[in-house]
Structure 1
Amino acid sequence: MFHLPFPLRDANAGSGSKELGNLPEWDLSDLYSGEDAPELAHDLDWLETECAAFAADYEGKLAELDAAALLTCVQRNEKISAIAGRIMSFAGLRYYQLTIDAGRAKFMSDCQEKITNFTTPLVFFTLELNRIEDDALTARFAENADLARYAPVFRRIRAMKPYQLSDELEKFLHDLGVVGDAWERLFDETIAGLTFDIDGEELNIEGTLNLLTEQDRSKREAAAHELARVFGENIKTFARVHNTAAKEKEVIDRWRKMPSAQTGRHLSNDVEPEVVEALREAVVAAYPKLSHRYYELKRKWLGLDRMQVWDRNAPLPMEDTRTIPWAQAERMVMEAYEAFDPRMGEIAAPFFSKGWIDAAVKPGKAPGAFAHPTVTEVHPYVMLNYLGKPRDVMTLAHELGHGVHQVLAAGQGEMLSSTPLTLAETASVFGEMLTFRKMLEKAETQEQRKVLLAGKVEDMINTVVRQIAFYDFECKLHAARRQGELTPENIGDLWMSVQGESLGPAFDFMEGYESFWAYIPHFVHSPFYVYAYAFGDGLVNALYSVYAEGAEGFEEKYFDMLKAGGSKHHKELLAPFGLDASDPKFWDKGLSMISDMIDELEAMEG
């Protein structure tokens, strides 16, 4: 019931090295001082007792509660969420710092199991809530303003009402969740255990993927072939994991009578299917003027007749290869944040000084980057694998944006603070855009400007085009799995069907590339998560264009938007800016920003 979000590797995050200065590490003592902290033991005991007491006090009685009693019930449920969230945040963050430590893995697993057992009796809460008549609930909101504040939570819970099963089946599924988690763990452990041999050097997956961004083309090519070889050797395991996860989802969706494999994700994202479809159609229609056009430019810059897949993330010949020390990265991001609004700088500052960031690349540390909100009464923690590349500065700006958002939204309390995925990327992508514009402003030569623009376009293509291609692949995968078991070749064919279309005619695809779906964690951990990246990028591009046009009072509206957390629907949040995500033209506004940057790059060629 209470999962620490898997640290989803942000689309453009890098990984590990030197000359970087003093890199900060987490101080997790704001959560607990250690595994054996008396406060932790106390919280686990409290949780066990309170979950049992909550069930005894309320099961079978929710419909009879008056407004004041229902408010007390909701607040008690919120406190349970906060304590469980605190425990799982501590266990999870310690694990991500050192995933190869068996003790930390066991501690996290034991905490998860205890909390699942303690909270199983609470499954009745949402089920009974959904059985209360709409009119009766509305009347209670009218009676009590404090209860009415939770209306958005009730609305989201009740969105599941048509797909709810019997109480007994819901408890069964809650308990069975641990088994689904085991397949995710198998995937994680398999990926973490892969070794790649590059010129006699043994590397893990992070190190090997990192070679795809090397200046030396022969190293990129060697890495691509080695990735294909190792994925190929393990492809049966990956196919088994995907088949099982997709089948499990299909069975649950069928029992719930969900109209599509994507429905559950759209509901949890609080977004209408037609809005996602409008985004998807706008991006697919824009492939020729975005990725196809950009990669044709890149082909010329690299001096190639044809692009190969190992050239997709190649650095540009004129690229800046300098290493940016941590202190300079901090200054660059803080300057951009403070220039937008001094308050943003004030919120960001403690991340650097109080042990809220873990930046160094270390053996056994989880890959990628994330910001974890923990619980509203503590503060977020940011994880990076900082290498000192210009792109790593962008990753810092991105994750710090998440952190600022999470701090501002914490005022909403445990149940209302977390934003759906589609809006969760807003502050991160906006923070990245502010930092990028500040770096662009400081570019001293046309060449530096070109490198920055090309890097930003490339990141946006990775975030928008690539993630929508991923979404299309998942849609095809789940549809095909409904017809029967899929062989690795079947899955490879689906993967290739979206790759050519999204990357465009500049590319050739090597043999073995058909297995590159195997390592993407989102497909296993969070089906259909990937469109949230494109949603967030498109939304921020539209938002930034309003800011760039000098809209009056933008900063104040922006802070209000972040403070709202999950208390408002995307329509309400965007209305003050004159934007509406259900309007297909909205997505074109965001995509045209990318297209304009490619126009500028093309003009530089002239």
Structure 2
Amino acid sequence: MIWDLTALFKDQKELESYLSNLQKDVKNFSETYKDKIANLDEKDFIKAMNEYQRLISSISKIMTYAFLIFAKDTKQGAFYSKYEEECNKIQEYILFFELEFNTLENKIQDKFIASCNDFSYYLSNLKQHKKHQLSLEQEQVLLRTSNTGAQAFARLFDETMSAMKFKFKEELLSEEEVLSKLHSQDREERRLAAISLSDELTKHQHLLGYIYNMIKTDLSTSCELRNFENPEDPRHLDNQISKQSVDSLIKACENNFELSYKFYNKKREILGYEKLYDYDRYAPLSQNKTKYKYSVAKDIVLKSFGNFSPEFQKIAQEAFDNGWIDVYPSDAKRGGAFSHSGSSDAHPYVLLNYTDESRDLFTLAHELGHAIHQKLSYSVGFLNSDTPLTTAETASVFCEMLVFDYIIKDIDKKEKQALLARKIEDIFATFFRQINFTTFERRVHLHKGEISLDTLNNMWYEESTKMFKDSIVLNDYYKIWWSYIPHFIHSPFYCYAYSYAQLLVLALFGLYKSNKCENFVEIYTKFLSSGGSKSPKELVNMFGFDIDDEDFWLIGLKQISNMVDEFLEL
């Protein structure tokens, strides 16, 4: 149950041959088109776009292979670094293309956009970046130094976290394993897991704090160079969403924290605790410690996907049968889970750290949702397949809902209460908690100069308490738990996309279950297959929703409120 990377390259010899041919191709592309784009007619520009797409896709194929090797074994840093450097050199030859397009007069740009049906949205979106791009020489310098900037510190973070061993009783656990203990039925085990996590993180606080400061500084420098007023603005531009829309999302979230207070106070009553502590958040309500062996989880996912769409089931079956998934934790393997879009020459690749816990079942559904989205979006071409974060989480969270809806039907009242509690906790983690992450990041990145560990810890603690108020007591050690969140390092201001997707999915899932949209599955499949070839506003409008309407967020929030009410009444 490990990846079969031969769909990308059979071995390193084939990789080297592919790299050598690509090096020749990018030189030819540069010689053919550099400083000549303005003189192309529409037909030749379309030809250039198709070749550019092929080259970008080829670079991605190499980097995918190197990244997956590194994710499987973070001791393979030298291998990853070698091909990262080679690909950066290759990219220098074609870096001119998008930059040169954005030096054209608007009327020439518009002529090319109108003639390129397959690339019109991609080019229109590229045009929006015009005022933030630098000269070719400046962009080349940034590309050459990228390996020693934020990317280098992100790699250092990954290697540091992967190397950590958390002392739990007489065992040494990985990050994934100790985090899974926070879901234990045994309260003392949960408490010890929280202490173990905190103790090991404390040993590395100076390094983790320095890494975060370097990420902060790198983003600040980039924004200054590219004329962005705010450190989160580049993310909003990439996500094709306004800061005002994000602000309204945050406001809607913070205005509904009361749902969290109600839920956790009820949970405390059910558990019979005087107080609920941070390590009690994920305490299971059922005494039946449900475990899902991977084979059982596969069966549940396939059946729940099949009930929704035969195409979803077919793609998931391909993933299980053809080496798309690396399943279990192993020494030096990267923590967490992801689905990498891979290459349209191959298929997506899913990384799990499966430990048979019930949450692993939903993680499997989540990542396969990504894989289905990625596979379907191959149809619009590589340049259009990359979705903005605002819609990238849509299929993943929707697939979690499919599994939840499937397994909750045939259980008794007590088990239903326990399962509903877990689902609400997942939604809170995806919605409320990610907004806490975002408001924390805002404070961090708006802070002038290097930020001390004490300040980071206090900011984190203050933002975290907003979600819980008096319903959960956060211990003092909780202040350092910002330091293991990978999104802060790899993708600043990523996290609100989870909240956005959660409310969007709840609105879509509610529409699906209401049976008010007869051809929902067909529209939803088209929505996913569109990848990034349309704006989020256009995509969501397929279902009759308007993401610019502040009331849109209330549809998803109403679904959360209904689930909490149902839980309180059980």
Greater shift after overlay, 361-370 or 276-285? Answer: 361-370
1:423 CA displacement: 0.6
1:450 CA displacement: 0.9
Corresponding residue for residue 476 of structure 1:
443
Alpha-carbon distance between aligned partners in 2 of 1:391 and 1:477, rounded to the nearest angstrom = 30
Alpha-carbon distance between aligned partners in 1 of 2:310 and 2:209, rounded to the nearest angstrom = 50
Corresponding residue for residue 522 of structure 1:
487
Which structure 2 residues correspond to residues 172-211 of structure 1 after superposition, within 5 A? 172-180=141-149, 181-211=151-181
> Does the CA-based 8 Å contact 2:34-2:96 persist in structure 1?
yes
1:467 CA displacement: 0.6
Which structure 2 residues correspond to residues 48-197 of structure 1 after superposition, within 5 A? 48-100=23-75, 104-142=76-114, 144=115, 147-180=116-149, 181-197=151-167
> Does the CA-based 8 Å contact 1:538-1:587 persist in structure 2?
yes
1:319 CA displacement: 4.6
SS in 2 for 1:150: helix
1:267 CA displacement: 1.2
Alpha-carbon distance between aligned partners in 2 of 1:326 and 1:515, rounded to the nearest angstrom = 33
Which structure 2 residues correspond to residues 330-349 of structure 1 after superposition, within 5 A? 330-349=298-317
Of the candidates 536, 541, 545, which is equivalent to residue 501 of structure 2? 536
1:244 CA displacement: 1.5
Of the candidates 447, 464, 479, which is equivalent to residue 431 of structure 2? 464
Alpha-carbon distance between aligned partners in 2 of 1:511 and 1:137, rounded to the nearest angstrom = 56
Deviations 1:83-122 (A, max 9, x none): 111111112112222223xxx3322210111010121132
Of the candidates 308, 321, 331, which is equivalent to residue 363 of structure 1? 331
Alpha-carbon distance between aligned partners in 2 of 1:252 and 1:312, rounded to the nearest angstrom = 38
Q: Which amino acid aligns with 1:564?
A: S
SS in 1 for 2:422: helix
Do residues 580 (structure 1) and 555 (structure 2) align? no
Corresponding residue for residue 594 of structure 1:
560
Do residues 454 (structure 1) and 403 (structure 2) align? no
Do residues 216 (structure 1) and 182 (structure 2) align? no
Alpha-carbon distance between aligned partners in 2 of 1:403 and 1:232, rounded to the nearest angstrom = 36
Which structure 2 residues correspond to residues 174-323 of structure 1 after superposition, within 5 A? 174-180=143-149, 181-289=151-259, 291-316=260-285, 318-323=286-291
1:258 CA displacement: 0.2
Of the candidates 25, 32, 47, which is equivalent to residue 2 of structure 2? 25
Q: Which amino acid aligns with 1:236?
A: H
Higher relative contact order (CA 8 A, sep 6+): 1
> Does the CA-based 8 Å contact 1:309-1:510 persist in structure 2?
yes
Deviations 1:380-429 (A, max 9, x none): 12221222222211111111111111111111111111211111111111
Q: Which amino acid aligns with 1:542?
A: A
Of the candidates 321, 329, 341, which is equivalent to residue 353 of structure 1? 321
Do residues 567 (structure 1) and 533 (structure 2) align? yes
Alpha-carbon distance between aligned partners in 2 of 1:47 and 1:218, rounded to the nearest angstrom = 57
Corresponding residue for residue 488 of structure 1:
453
Alpha-carbon distance between aligned partners in 2 of 1:218 and 1:235, rounded to the nearest angstrom = 25
Runs of 4 or more, structure 1, over 3 Å off, are none
SS in 2 for 1:371: strand
Deviations 1:510-562 (A, max 9, x none): 22221111111110111001111111111111111111121121111111111
Equivalences, count: 568
Quickly say closer, same or farther: Cα 1:325–1:192, change in 2 above 3 A: closer
Alpha-carbon distance between aligned partners in 2 of 1:204 and 1:340, rounded to the nearest angstrom = 36
Deviations 1:144-170 (A, max 9, x none): 3xx222011112222211112222211
Structure 1: where are the runs of 5+ without partners?
Answer: 1-23
Normalised to the residue count of structure 2, the TM-score between the two structures is: 0.97
Q: Which amino acid aligns with 1:287?
A: F
Corresponding residue for residue 20 of structure 2:
45
Alpha-carbon distance between aligned partners in 1 of 2:565 and 2:287, rounded to the nearest angstrom = 19
Do residues 426 (structure 1) and 394 (structure 2) align? yes
Quickly say closer, same or farther: Cα 1:228–1:344, change in 2 above 3 A: closer
SS in 1 for 2:431: helix
> Does the CA-based 8 Å contact 1:288-1:504 persist in structure 2?
no
Of the candidates 313, 337, 359, which is equivalent to residue 391 of structure 1? 359
Corresponding residue for residue 465 of structure 2:
500
Alpha-carbon distance between aligned partners in 1 of 2:491 and 2:345, rounded to the nearest angstrom = 27
Corresponding residue for residue 13 of structure 2:
36
SS in 2 for 1:307: coil
Alpha-carbon distance between aligned partners in 2 of 1:33 and 1:41, rounded to the nearest angstrom = 11
> Does the CA-based 8 Å contact 1:194-1:204 persist in structure 2?
yes
Alpha-carbon distance between aligned partners in 2 of 1:545 and 1:84, rounded to the nearest angstrom = 40
> Does the CA-based 8 Å contact 2:162-2:335 persist in structure 1?
no
Identity %: 34
> Does the CA-based 8 Å contact 1:278-1:582 persist in structure 2?
no
1:506 CA displacement: 1.3
Alpha-carbon distance between aligned partners in 1 of 2:95 and 2:322, rounded to the nearest angstrom = 38
SS in 2 for 1:36: helix
Corresponding residue for residue 6 of structure 1:
none
Alpha-carbon distance between aligned partners in 2 of 1:412 and 1:308, rounded to the nearest angstrom = 48
Alpha-carbon distance between aligned partners in 2 of 1:379 and 1:202, rounded to the nearest angstrom = 35
Structure 2: where are the runs of 5+ without partners?
Answer: none
SS in 2 for 1:197: strand
Alpha-carbon distance between aligned partners in 2 of 1:320 and 1:285, rounded to the nearest angstrom = 35
Alpha-carbon distance between aligned partners in 1 of 2:469 and 2:280, rounded to the nearest angstrom = 13
Quickly say closer, same or farther: Cα 1:194–1:508, change in 2 above 3 A: same
Q: Which amino acid aligns with 1:295?
A: Y
Of the candidates 496, 519, 542, which is equivalent to residue 553 of structure 1? 519
Alpha-carbon distance between aligned partners in 2 of 1:395 and 1:225, rounded to the nearest angstrom = 25
Alpha-carbon distance between aligned partners in 1 of 2:46 and 2:53, rounded to the nearest angstrom = 10
Q: Which amino acid aligns with 1:475?
A: R
Q: Which amino acid aligns with 1:346?
A: K
RMSD: 1.5
